[in-house]
Amino acid sequence: MRITVLGTGLVGRLLAAKLDNLGHDVAVGTRDPAATLARTEWTKTGDVDTSPYSQWQEEHPGIRLLAFPEAGAHAELVLNATGGASSLQALALVGASNLAGKVLLDLALPLDFSTGFPPTLTVANTDSLGEQIQRAYPDAKVVKSLTSVFCQVMVEPSRIPGEHNLFVAGNDDEAKQTVRALLESFGWPGESIIDLGDITAARAAEMYSRMYFTLVNALGTFELNINIIRAD
């Protein structure tokens, strides 16, 4: 499948590398490819140091780096791994015509670190980033998922032992099935994926982040998840 990952940070890179390893035709979208390749600084995501993109690109020659519009045109499936504060702007550069009719897996969180850690959300309770994206691009099939775990666990759920869950939310059942199949290819058991309902459930998925980051503080690790246990 032709898959585009929007975002060149650690999250986008891990997803792109996993998809490439699974045999997909993968492109990574960025605002300015030349500027992205010219950066030399290392960054830190959670407790993981991230090399300059050019170094990572050399290690993954099969993954193309494209400007947002070209990356969107390339894709059958789009993954939004941009920072939540800039997701709508990034998608605007991709273009509505390049998103129309496509499954858009949104894993971005609208985090606000201005008051420190744990972060707050720029939108919550009565709206969500997932809903904002769906309203802005009504012809896209937005599915919210992967927001409840650290990026390394997204693509390697076995890093956390035992049973634990992941969530999906979206208006289009077929799109959710496409995302489910992708998640299962990452190693998530089908029975561990819980359908929360339509895209309004993205509010709950995004608002869980406050609990997640509070647990990170309490337990001293980003690699954690929850297991939903239901009485028969």
Q: What is the model's pLDDT at position 48?
A: 75
Instruction: State the pairing for strand pair 2-6/25-30.
Output: parallel
**Does residue 45 surpass a pLDDT of 90?**
no
Residues 6+ apart with CB under 8 A from 152: 14, 48, 159, 222, 223
Domain 2-219 bears CATH identifier 3.40.50.150: no
Return the SS3 of 80: strand
**Contact between 152 and 48 (Cβ < 8 Å):** yes
Closest CA to 212 of 203, 222, 204: 222
Ordered DSSP codes for 165-213: -EEEEES-HHHHHHHHHHHHHHT--GGGEEE--SGGGHHHHHHHHHHHH
Instruction: Render pLDDT for 61-96 as a digit per residue (tens, 0 to 9).
Output: 999 999 999 999 999 999 999 999 999 999 999 999
Map residue 155 onto helix, strand or coil.
helix
Q: Where are the domains of the chain?
A: 2-219
Q: What pLDDT sits at residue 232?
A: 78
pLDDT band at 184 (very low <50, low <70, confident <90, very high): very high
pLDDT computed for residue 40 by the predictor: 85
Between vectors from CA 167 to CA 164 and to CA 169, what angle results, nearest 5°? Answer: 175
Task: Report whether pLDDT(143) > 90.
Answer: yes
**pLDDT category of residue 99 using cuts at 50, 70 and 90:** very high
Question: Is the pTM above the cut of 0.85?
Answer: yes
pLDDT above 90 (res 214): yes
Residue 50 is predicted with a pLDDT of 83
User: In terms of DSSP H, where are the helices of the chain?
Assistant: 10-21, 33-38, 53-59, 68-74, 87-94, 96-99, 129-136, 151-155, 173-186, 202-219
Give the up-direction half-sphere exposure of residue 67: CA atoms within 13 A in the CB hemisphere. 8
- The residues, ordered by sequence, that sit 6+ positions from 118 with a Cβ below 8 Å of its Cβ are 210, 213, 214, 216, 217
Q: How confident is the model at residue 167 (pLDDT cuts 50, 70, 90)?
A: very high
**pLDDT category, 182, cuts 50, 70, 90?**
very high
Mean pLDDT score, 186-205: 98
What average pLDDT does range 26-33 have in this prediction? 97
Residues 11-27, mean pLDDT to the nearest whole number: 98
* Percent of all residues in the chain with a pLDDT value above 70, rounded to a whole number: 99
**Which residue is associated with the tokens 């897996």?**
105
User: For residues 103 and 176, is the Cβ–Cβ distance under 8 A?
Assistant: no
The answer, yes or no, to whether residue 227 has pLDDT greater than 80, is yes
pLDDT score for 43:
79
